[in-house]
Structure 1
């Protein structure tokens, strides 16, 4: 099942093959923050900012989550090359 980024129950990203793929997208978009440790979990942990969440979803008609992932990976590599 594909996953996507949601805000206030509205899907705001394309669908991707795995939850980890959406975490990468959220991190690149500046939506991931580190929260200090609490009694249950030592050390900082990653959470999504504000009302964002990652949830399973249905891919839109004609949408290919694997193609979306490949496109996002390609864009990320291009950004790294430009920043080098």
Structure 2
């Protein structure tokens, strides 16, 4: 099942093949923050800022989560090359 980024139950991103892909997108977008560890978990842990969530979703008609992932990776590589 594909996953996407949501805020208040509104889907904000395209659908991606798995949850890890959406975490990468959220990280690049500055939506991931580290919080101090609590007694149950050692070390900092990643959480999404504000009311953002990563949830399973259905891909829109004609949408291909694998193509969305490939496009995001291509854009990320292009950004890295431009910033070098």
What do residues 38-69 of structure 1 show as CA deviations (whole Å, max 9, x unaligned)? 01101000000000000000000000000000
Report what 2:82 is aligned to: 82
2:66 is matched with which residue? 66
TM-score normalised by length of structure 2? 0.99
| Cα RMSD, aligned residues only | 0.3
1:1-84 alignment runs, 5 A limit: 1-84=1-84
Return the offset for 1:71.
0.2
Structure 2's unaligned 5+ residue stretches are none
Structure 1 runs of 4+ aligned residues shifted over 4 Å read none
Q: Which runs of 5+ in 1 are unaligned?
A: none
